[in-house]
Amino acid sequence: MERRTSMLDALRNIVQEVNGAKDLQTALDVIVSRVREVMGTEVCTVYLRDPDTERFVFMANEGLNPDFIGKVSLGAAEGLVGQVATREEPLNTDDAEAQPNFRFLPGIGEERYSSFLGVPIIHQRRVLGVLVVQQVERRRFDEREEAFLVTCSAQLAGVIAHAQATGSISHIDQSGVKTSGSARFQGVPGASGIAIGHAVVVSPPADLYAVPHRVSTNVEEELHFFNDCLIAVRKDVQDLSSKLSDRLAPQEQALFDVYLAMLDDNALPAEVVEKIRGGEWAQGALSQVILAHVRTFEMMEDRYLQERSVDVKDLGRRLLAYLQAADTDPVVYPKRAVLVGEELTASMLGDVPKENLVGLVSVQGSGNSHVAILARAMGIPTVMGCLDLPFTQVEGAELILDGYNGMVHYNAPPELRAQFQAIAAEEQQISKELESLRDLPCETTDGHRIPLWVNTGLMADVVRSLERGAEGVGLYRTEVPFLLRDRFPSEEEQRAIYRQQLEPFAPLPVTMRTLDIGGDKSLPYFPIEEANPFLGWRGIRVTLDHPEIFLVQVRAMMKASQGLNNLRIMLPMVSNVQELDDALQLIYRAHDELLEEGLQLELPPIGVMVEVPSAVYQARELARRVSFLSVGSNDLTQYLLAVDRNNARVADLYHAYHPAVLQALQKVVTDGHAEGKQVSICGELAGDPAAAVLLLAMGYDMLSMNATNLPKVKSVIRNISFSDAKKLLDSVMKMETSQEIRLFLEEQLVAAGVTRMPRSPTASYKFIA
């Protein structure tokens, strides 16, 4: 037990020390030194894969000849290192030279070491390198040693990947000058399109880990600014000490003296001042100094000293909060701004003038995060889940966003930049050509008609939707005005908001979804804290438990539709018939109350969103009770595939073309029609032009999408026959993988001359229009 604990402690210390390394080489040197020390071996080596040559380079070592570091390498399948990498599993032997794949590297001095244990370093299914330990004594490393090295490799893989990414955008040359290189970072597509602009890094308040590196424009002003904030924090600590003086023992009161000592001009502030004088802005200087000290404390073996990292972090946050609050200078956005952040939110988008915002990059999140959905509605190219992007270091750099393939290019070479500029120009030309489709019907070449509606949530969506030729609203997200307030809006406030949505579209129908909070949508004044929010209290579950909220909302909706009669009400997250019956009783009650109050109102059509698997299997029972069904394909896909759509680690498993998803979609429309009810779809899948062809063939009565995609979908549908769409669907429903389905659709539609597709310089073509 004691050895297990010491191994765990050692591993934690190694990870923390590597996290604090200033660059990739330092990180690798820490790894080989600490692993060798902890395991008591004579040699420890890291071989890293060179992405250009696919060779494994001798990059860091303890115990062999250091003169060969960075100078010798092994092929992808060469030697024992290549065997470990190719098989992606450990190799443990007491006689390395006897192994068939053994390859002797002259000069490095490993010929006398018999025992060999190598484990692959794998990050996101990609082999980054191999971690090796060796000994002269001929023996197999025991199970605990092998398990430790495997665990160490797994823990360090992400750190190494991040260090590689950071090193690829900036490094120190032999003369000591910091230079920038070109690099590309893989994420997941958020919103299609190409954007070229300069990075503006945004961070949440008082987050020490998210402060971007930024060059100060006025060192003396930054120093004065920092000093004022330092004085304010000292006063806060003194005031807090005085307030608690009668409630704390003397030894506990001494903590505040420690805080003040750390804030002394000759302590932490001196290091911050030095960095500011070196050209860093105050917030960046503070963040770098505080985090360096936090890492130092966290690596200490003494538990008491480890806990002091919390105190240092607390002081840092207090100072940063003052620096951010006092920084009242308006942000100057470049003409073409690419907003970059660890986790972008809708409110961050609102801070940038719309004429300046050309792209979004979020380290966290996926293509179905709400900020990505909003970006698609606004037509802003977006890359999500760019986990390896060292976002704090890209401030002001030129970025190219490839929203089709989820790629971010940093400081791209001129020839690559020119290729992307050509694609962007072609996109603009296609967009202009599509404008001519606005007033034309969405029907196939053999006369099959399918209305195209839009998803809305903001007032800006209304104008954009009508300009694109929308024939109605398939989803109005009523939670948006709730999210933008600091309290629940009153019935009259809601009535006015809903009227603004209903009136411009009249007499076209507007489908209003009742309040859908929970999951990844929480109200600041009505927090929902749950371990698993997507399987918890959300959607109709919340509003049925709070009829006072539900009744006010449906009353406001019906009052807003007076004289227009174009309202449709839709219920989210219904998972069983009883929930639907309960919700219907409340709607009928609200309608009766309004009639009693003297209003002349028709009961609007009521529908159910099919977005959980249980609703798929009870589609007929649900359809009997309502006027229409509408599939929410985003959540339905998430629940069918057990994939959190906001988790970048599993974003590549979220496949809207998954055969199980397509079969579920077909079942819903078949069962809905069997009850004589209209069936529509309002998820992101409806706005995918290739998917729209399948949905058309399945028999969906209407497709609802963001306004940006509406002309693209219309263009495809107007250039294909219904009979050909049915043939495509028949072929697709026999396929077993989503990748096979996607490639088949793209190839078939291109071959039929249905669409035009600009090619990306870095990946295969993607569907555009």
Q: How far apart are CA 88 and CA 76, in angstroms?
A: 12
* Interstrand relation of 337-341 and 178-179 (parallel, antiparallel or unpaired): unpaired
Cα(185)–Cα(175) distance, integer angstroms: 28
How far apart CA 349 and CA 356 sit, in angstroms, is 11
Q: Taken in order 225, 226, 231, 237, is the CA torsion positive or negative?
A: positive
Q: Which of 143, 119, 96, 124 lies closest to 47 in space, CA to CA?
A: 119
Cα dist. 253→247, 309, 314, 681 in Å? 9, 18, 17, 62
How far apart CA 733 and CA 725 sit, in angstroms, is 12
* 8 A C-beta contact, residue 383 and residue 407: yes
HSE value, Cβ hemisphere, 13 Å, CA-based, for 340: 32
Name residues whose C-beta falls within 8 Å of residue 448's C-beta, 6 or more positions apart in sequence.
696, 722
The encoded tokens of residue 532 equal: 């698993």
**Nearest of 175, 270, 257 to residue 223 by alpha carbon:** 270
Four-residue CA torsion sign, 661, 663, 666, 672: negative
Contacts of 126 (CB under 8 A, 6+ apart): none
DSSP letter for 182, please.
Answer: -
CB contact at 8 A, 316 and 338: no
Which entry of 370, 591, 655, 658 is annotated as an active-site residue? 370
Number of Cα atoms under 13 Å in the Cβ half of residue 381: 25
Catalytic residue among 152, 229, 386, 682: 682
| DSSP conformational letter for 521 | B
584 CB burial (10 A radius; 0-12, 13-18, 19+): middle
Query: What is the DSSP annotation of 341-371?
Result: ESS--HHHHHTS-TTTEEEEEESS--TTSHH
Examine the residue annotation and report whether 442 is marked as an active-site residue of this protein: no
Q: Is 385 exposed, middle or buried (0-12, 13-18, 19+ CB in 10 A)?
A: buried
- What residue has token string 């069962």? 671
| Residues in contact with 670: Cβ distance below 8 Å, sequence separation at least 6, in sequence order | 699
Task: Judge whether 152 counts as a catalytic residue.
Answer: no
Tokens standing for residue 696? 């058309």
Q: No. of H helices and E strands in the chain?
A: 26, 24
CA 58 to chain centre: 34
Q: How far is CA 406 from CA 179, 189, 603, in A?
A: 26, 4, 45
* 3-state SS, one letter per residue, for 294-309: HHHHHCCCCHHHHHHH
Residues 6+ apart with CB under 8 A from 184: 407, 408, 409, 410, 412, 762
Residue 355 CA to residue 346 CA, distance in Å, equals 17
Residue reference for tokens 């190719």? 86
Inter-residue contact 369 to 646 (CB < 8 Å): yes
The residues facing 198 across adjacent strands are 337, 398
d(CA 230, CA 234): 6
Tokens read off for 127:
């082999």
Lookup: tokens for 148: 């430790």
Q: Is the peptide bond before 507 cis (omega within 30 degrees of 0)?
A: yes
Residues labelled as active-site residues: 370, 682
